[in-house]
């Protein structure tokens, strides 16, 4: 059932439709003594809130959730007067929403996900041969951000890289496909990580740093042409075998795909085991963890007491934390839940993020200015 929900939601998201997810038992109106709370969420959480098991777990906590999917950086344009919470995908838009709307308590961060780069095996082998990446496992590696950004800034093509001439589909300018940073959280975080590297390991915090990093960020965006507004589209394109050889994604998207594939493989006697399920859903995909990346801290801004209660339940409930992992997210705090759930997929996923530098994210105003310069 969960996979059917995912397919249906994916079709709607790819079509650019704003999705309203109504979560409740049977009627969706919060029967059985539950309190209905309404809010806006980043689209990458739509499948989580639509999961029937999440519906049941929330109802057991006395909550029914009405969630409307809106781009994290587009939430500022939504009138939140009648909502109980806003749940963007990182702290930047959450801070802006708090500033403009206030809240009844401190923001809560139930779970998070780092940005990764997806590549096909042959592309990673070429990157590794040219010092831009390293392979650490069959389907997992590391991307050298400084070397990659230098290659993009120089306008290097795949054909100029050693070994690319023998690989089908590796042609044209080298770049990572990302989403529109003016509307999409992942696209904005990509600029945050790149600007941190370009600014000598310092977060961009003033006009001078914005000017200093603008040429590189403009190149990262310009080379892509038209960008999609949600990370769901590029991810599905990649899994389907189309699109650019390198694609920015959330680790949660990969983890959910692998966990879902393993569950499908365990569905009955004679079905494939988790390893075979990995091969079926992920093919020759390699997950590259940039050595400097940004993390999507899913931040719930409570606008009413009901919104505050939802944030507390998502953070503290063992069942909802388990379900968040099933959707690929890393719960805040102890990492054992994520580690145990993804142990069979260690060929793709890192257990921890040690050795991966987390780039601080600029303020919402600075990041918005960076995105505008990059798109100009």
Mean local confidence (pLDDT), 68-82: 88
pLDDT at 191 over 80: yes
pLDDT band at residue 175, thresholds of 50, 70 and 90? very high
Considering the domain architecture, whether residues 172 and 225 belong to the same structural domain is answered as: yes
Considering the domain architecture, whether residues 182 and 309 belong to the same structural domain is answered as: no
pLDDT at 2 over 80: no
pLDDT of residue 268: 39
User: How many domains would you assign to the chain?
Assistant: 2
pLDDT at 30 over 90: no
Considering the domain architecture, whether residues 194 and 290 belong to the same structural domain is answered as: yes
**Largest interatomic CA distance in the chain:** 65
Q: Which of 86-95, 212-221, 246-255 has the lowest mean pLDDT?
A: 86-95
The DSSP-derived string for 284-301 is: TEEEEEESEE-EEEEEEE
pLDDT at 4 over 50: no
pLDDT at 242 over 60: yes
Mean local confidence (pLDDT), 121-126: 94
Block residue for tokens 């999507």: 296
pLDDT of residue 333: 85
Considering the domain architecture, whether residues 194 and 231 belong to the same structural domain is answered as: yes
CA distance 177 to 316: 35
pLDDT of residue 298: 96
Q: Which residues contact 376 (CB under 8 A, 6 or more apart)?
A: 218
Considering the domain architecture, whether residues 122 and 7 belong to the same structural domain is answered as: no
Q: In degrees, to the nearest 5, what angle opens at C-alpha 236 toward C-alphas 230 and 242? A: 115
Which CATH number covers residue 235? 3.40.190.10
pLDDT of residue 17: 36
Q: Which of 35-39, 209-213, 226-230, 246-250 has the lowest mean pLDDT?
A: 226-230
pTM of the model: 0.86
pLDDT of residue 270: 36
Considering the domain architecture, whether residues 207 and 277 belong to the same structural domain is answered as: yes
What are the tens digits of pLDDT across the range 265-303?
444 333 333 344 454 556 789 999 999 999 999 999 999
- Decide if 48 contacts 323 (C-beta within 8 A): yes
pLDDT at 31 over 50: no
Considering the domain architecture, whether residues 103 and 183 belong to the same structural domain is answered as: no
Q: Which of 85-89, 101-105, 147-151, 235-239 has the lowest mean pLDDT?
A: 101-105
Mean local confidence (pLDDT), 46-62: 96
pLDDT of residue 342: 92
End-to-end CA distance of the chain: 43
Most confident of 96-110, 157-171, 336-350: 336-350
Mean pLDDT, the chain, whole residue set: 86
CA distance 13 to 234: 12
pLDDT band at residue 262, thresholds of 50, 70 and 90? low
pLDDT at 7 over 70: no
Considering the domain architecture, whether residues 96 and 121 belong to the same structural domain is answered as: no
Q: How many CB atoms lie within 10 A of CB 17?
A: 11
pLDDT at 232 over 90: no
269 or 179, which is more confident? Answer: 179
- Decide if 186 contacts 339 (C-beta within 8 A): no
Please give the residue range of the domain that contains residue 11. Answer: 2-110+297-345
Question: Would you call 23 helix, strand, or coil by DSSP?
Answer: strand
pLDDT band at residue 169, thresholds of 50, 70 and 90? confident
pLDDT at 41 over 70: yes
pLDDT of residue 25: 37
Considering the domain architecture, whether residues 141 and 225 belong to the same structural domain is answered as: yes
Considering the domain architecture, whether residues 177 and 48 belong to the same structural domain is answered as: no
Considering the domain architecture, whether residues 367 and 225 belong to the same structural domain is answered as: yes
Considering the domain architecture, whether residues 276 and 128 belong to the same structural domain is answered as: yes
């Amino acid at each position: 059932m969960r996979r059917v929900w995912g397919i249906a939601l994916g079709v709607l998201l790819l079509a650019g439709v704003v999705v309203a997810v109504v979560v409740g038992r049977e009627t969706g109106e919060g029967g059985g003594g539950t309190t209905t709370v309404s809010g806006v969420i980043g689209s990458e959480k739509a499948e989580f809130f639509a999961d029937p098991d999440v519906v049941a777990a929330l109802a057991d906590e006395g909550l029914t959730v009405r969630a409307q999917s809106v781009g994290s950086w587009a939430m500022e344009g939504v009138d939140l007067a009648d909502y109980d919470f806003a749940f963007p995908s990182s702290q930047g838009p959450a801070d802006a929403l708090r500033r403009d709307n206030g809240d009844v308590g401190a923001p809560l961060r139930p779970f998070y996900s780092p940005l990764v780069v997806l590549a096909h095996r042959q592309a990673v082998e070429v990157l590794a041969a040219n010092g831009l990446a390293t392979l650490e496992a069959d389907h997992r590696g590391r991307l050298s951000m400084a070397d990659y950004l230098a290659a993009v800034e120089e306008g290097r093509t795949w054909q100029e890289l050693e070994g690319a001439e023998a690989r089908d589909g590796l042609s044209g300018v080298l770049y990572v496909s990302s989403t529109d940073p003016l509307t999409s959280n992942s696209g904005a975080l990509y600029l945050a990580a790149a600007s941190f590297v370009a600014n000598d390991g310092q977060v961009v915090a003033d006009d001078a740093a914005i000017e200093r990093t603008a040429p590189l960020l403009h190149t990262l965006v310009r080379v892509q042409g038209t960008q999609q507004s949600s990370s769901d589209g590029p991810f599905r394109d990649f899994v389907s075998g189309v699109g650019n050889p390198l694609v920015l994604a959330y680790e949660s998207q990969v983890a959910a795909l692998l966990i879902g594939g393993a569950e499908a493989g365990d569905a009955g006697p004679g079905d494939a085991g988790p390893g075979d399920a990995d091969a079926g859903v992920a093919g020759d995909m390699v997950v590259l963890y940039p050595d400097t990346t940004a993390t999507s801290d899913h931040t719930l801004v409570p606008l009413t007491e009901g919104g505050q209660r939802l944030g507390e339940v998502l953070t503290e409930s063992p069942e909802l934390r388990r379900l968040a992992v099933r959707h690929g997210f890393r719960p805040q705090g102890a990492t054992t839940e994520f580690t145990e759930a993804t142990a069979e997929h260690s060929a793709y996923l890192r257990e921890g993020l040690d050795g991966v530098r987390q780039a601080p994210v600029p303020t919402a105003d600075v990041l918005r200015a960076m995105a505008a310069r990059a798109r100009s």
